[in-house]
Structure 1
Amino acid sequence: MPMLIIGGGPFALSAAALAGDRGVDAVVVGRPMGFWSEHMPQGMLLRSGIDWHLDATGVCTLEAYLRERALSPKEVDPIPVELFREYADWFRRAKGITLRQDLVTRLTHRDGTFHAELDSGERIRADVVVAAPGISYFTRLPDWGGSIPSGRASHSCDLVRFDALSGQRVLIVGGRQSAYEWAALIGEHGAARVDVVHRHPMPRFASVSWTFFDDYLEATMRGSGWWRRLPVPVREAILARCWEAGRGTLEPWLPARLDAAGVRIWPETAVVLAEPTVDGGPVRITMSNTQSLTVDQVIFATGYAAELARVPFLADLVERIKMRNGSPVLDEALQSTVPGLYLTGFSATQDFGPFFGFVKAAPASAALIMRDMLARTG
């Protein structure tokens, strides 16, 4: 029976490519770069460098794609999201990956075999499953978010087309990269006013080198269970370093765009009350600094928290997957407590480190899984 790979994003494509390179029969089910196409806006700029790619063999890299297109690194710095999507399509073709554009709606495990039911009605059996659930399952909202009328609020990953916000008053809750970048894009799309509110101080705007991820990923490949075996102080220091690079520091090209769009920023401020002015109408926001705003739309750029139980196709297996803090407990090769079920990407960050939530870790993830699979099958 073939190996089943669920997903069409970076981690799934990396696994599918390496499976093909190693002669493993794999069926890949998902939408090609689904989250990237459906939950990232046109005009978004990535924070990664050109050394981030999908190929565990190091051949079909983003740099190779740029060379084929006669593009220099300077021409694509920062990298537009559209370019990386194009690279992923090129990678898929170069690696001969056939992607069934369908969705797995249910996954069960009986007598050592996985049974997948697809949205199309098709059924697939497999001995091994690699699943890379997208982070859209894991959106996080503040407690008061439910008080806003339907149609007046959305998470940033669910609002990626901004034309309808022209002339609107928009409040963005959150203070990291997505909050500020959405603010710039929405202002550039003609919003009447854009406010950003967050509880922490103003972030720093500066260029960040992500090369320190390389050492962590190399250590992960060299040492079985490297992350979980680190002394707690060392893990905490790495977490702090990743936090400072990814959340405490934002891209240096943002301030000029925010200023040009007239974005107003309210740091060290919380929302204390949100209530509609009329039934289903604009929302009245009261902040901790006693200021009030009337807004037409609230966008929550409030991040993500792994909660595997929210992944619909895993509903039948959740009770058999040992979890901690909402994340699966994984072995040294990303295998869950259901034998043959590997879970990677954002779901793996608890046991493998925060860098497994980034595309940079996709090739390493594929290598770990394939090495374990081939060792088990001889």
Structure 2
Amino acid sequence: MDTDVAIIGAGPYGLALGAHLRAAGVDHAIFGRPMEMWRRHMPEGMVLKSDGFASNLYDPENELPLSRFCREHSIEYSDDRIPVHLKTFIDYGMAFAKRFAPNLEETTICSVRQLGRGFAFNRENGAMVRARRIVLATGVGHFRYVPPPLDALPADLISHSYDHGDLSDVVDRRVAVIGGGASAIDLAALLKARGCDVTLICRRQNLTFASPPPAGKQSLWKRLRHPRSGIGPGLRSRMCTDAPLLFHFMPDSFRREVVRRHLGPAAGWPVKDMFVGRVPVLSGHELMHASVSGGCISLQLRDATGAVARVQADHVIAATGYRVDLRRLSYLDKSLLSQLSHTSHAPVLSTRFESSVKGVFFTGPVAANSFGPMMRFAFGAGFASRRLVPILRRAPRLQSSSPAIPRFDVWAGK
């Protein structure tokens, strides 16, 4: 099979880009399982943290926003006052894929490598695909982070929040959820609602919940001081969504710090009533050590005063987030990987999302260090697609040994 552009990944970023390329008449194919993150790795019953208006999958003519899908299927919808249920978002994504991605192939990709002036990779059935350009619209699944005290535990006793689209396998056990962000709080609340003996453990002294939308119309001053954005209210968030190219030209140290610190751990407002006063919490405790005895996990914790506490659990869920690291994209050939410029193992990208290897593009959360926190949300898919289409419409350029951007901190064979 030959194609001009191969999109690897069929989440919001891959589907949105496919819709834009289809409208532009660009020969392309999408490889992946549509909405896999939401279908298989988010627990039933949860609601999205993003508001309705920020949960669209973007087609170039805005033919199928979430609001229209909900209206056509008699689903209650509001731009910001009614939370978007996981099932609604999944059904919407599948309808979007059916309408705008007819050339989607549900498969797993392995061994992406350079071949002549283009690239080649194998599908899970062994068949090869050749493409002139590739866009890696990979999600966060490759970048799961488990802290050192837990990563040595037996695999049947420790899991990551990414592994829990189905909670039935742990609901009858004593569960300790480690983390203080949306994933940790959502999981703990949903497990408690199912009757699970669950405890949340986090380093932060106080958990944070987003504020519900204010009742009535806000004053002009409040709207100017706390403007709405696709990633949350506030001037900083609005700058992140309105000026991603300005962010791109900031110094690397500044960009990394903003991505690390802005929009820190916080749960959505709808889950607060399910959690507060219901789920036991050990806040302000740092995990120091974990051991196993008789099939039971013993967690040793320490608070700010140095006092030690211990928690016993049958299973630990590490809701400890994700850390982008190109080396964890196991399908990338080592030779190709060694040519990718990076900073802190996140790809260095041009303003058109192109890497230091001509013809290789990255979009989605892996591009956050280049374009800001917006890329961690589905809301960024529209911007990314609009930036990518012009360069992907052009005839592919020849491979060059001279990268388009300065290369630094490049690993070789590691």
Shift of the 107–231 alpha-carbon distance from structure 1 to 2, 3 Å rule, reads: closer
Partner SS state of residue 5, structure 1:
strand
5 Å-filtered alignment, 1:1-378, equals 1-52=3-54, 53-57=56-60, 58-74=62-78, 77-191=82-196, 193-207=197-211, 210-211=229-230, 215-220=239-244, 225-230=245-250, 239=259, 242-244=262-264, 247=265, 249-259=266-276, 262-278=278-294, 281-288=295-302, 289-316=307-334, 317-375=336-394
Partner SS state of residue 285, structure 2:
coil
Shift of the 13–216 alpha-carbon distance from structure 1 to 2, 3 Å rule, reads: same
Letter in 2 for 1:60: L
Shift of the 98–51 alpha-carbon distance from structure 1 to 2, 3 Å rule, reads: same
- Measured in 1, the distance between the counterparts of 2:37 and 2:257 equals 30
- Measured in 1, the distance between the counterparts of 2:257 and 2:312 equals 41
After TM superposition, which residue ranges in structure 1, 4 or more long, deviate above 6 angstroms?
231-234
Give CA-to-partner distance per residue, 1:341-376, whole Å, 9 cap, x none.
111111101111111111000111111111222255
> What is the deviation of 1:96?
4.6
- Measured in 2, the distance between the counterparts of 1:234 and 1:298 equals 35
Partner SS state of residue 41, structure 1:
coil
Letter in 1 for 2:347: P
Shift of the 146–30 alpha-carbon distance from structure 1 to 2, 3 Å rule, reads: same
Asked whether the equivalents of residues 177 and 184 of structure 2 are also in contact (C-alpha less than 8 Å), the reply is yes
Asked whether the equivalents of residues 5 and 392 of structure 2 are also in contact (C-alpha less than 8 Å), the reply is no
Shift of the 264–215 alpha-carbon distance from structure 1 to 2, 3 Å rule, reads: same
- Measured in 1, the distance between the counterparts of 2:98 and 2:10 equals 13
> What is the deviation of 1:240?
8.0
Asked whether the equivalents of residues 195 and 266 of structure 1 are also in contact (C-alpha less than 8 Å), the reply is yes
Shift of the 234–56 alpha-carbon distance from structure 1 to 2, 3 Å rule, reads: farther
Give CA-to-partner distance per residue, 1:241-266, whole Å, 9 cap, x none.
8325xx2x422333321256x42111
Letter in 1 for 2:71: R
Letter in 2 for 1:65: F
Bigger drift between 356-365 and 71-80 goes to 71-80
Bigger drift between 337-346 and 66-75 goes to 66-75
- Measured in 2, the distance between the counterparts of 1:304 and 1:197 equals 18
- Measured in 2, the distance between the counterparts of 1:240 and 1:351 equals 13
Counting matched residue pairs gives 367
> What is the deviation of 1:377?
5.8
What are structure 2's unaligned runs of at least 5 residues? 213-227, 398-414
> What is the deviation of 1:37?
1.2
> What is the deviation of 1:229?
1.7
TM-score by length of 2: 0.82
TM-score by length of 1: 0.90
Give CA-to-partner distance per residue, 1:73-96, whole Å, 9 cap, x none.
249821111111111111122225
Letter in 2 for 1:343: F
- Measured in 1, the distance between the counterparts of 2:260 and 2:281 equals 25
- Measured in 2, the distance between the counterparts of 1:250 and 1:141 equals 20
Give CA-to-partner distance per residue, 1:287-333, whole Å, 9 cap, x none.
11422121100010000000111111113311011111011111110
Asked whether the equivalents of residues 21 and 27 of structure 2 are also in contact (C-alpha less than 8 Å), the reply is yes
Shift of the 237–335 alpha-carbon distance from structure 1 to 2, 3 Å rule, reads: closer
Letter in 2 for 1:361: G
Give CA-to-partner distance per residue, 1:108-155, whole Å, 9 cap, x none.
112211111111111111111111112110011111113323311001
Percent of counterpart pairs with the same letter? 25
- Measured in 1, the distance between the counterparts of 2:346 and 2:161 equals 22
Shift of the 239–9 alpha-carbon distance from structure 1 to 2, 3 Å rule, reads: closer
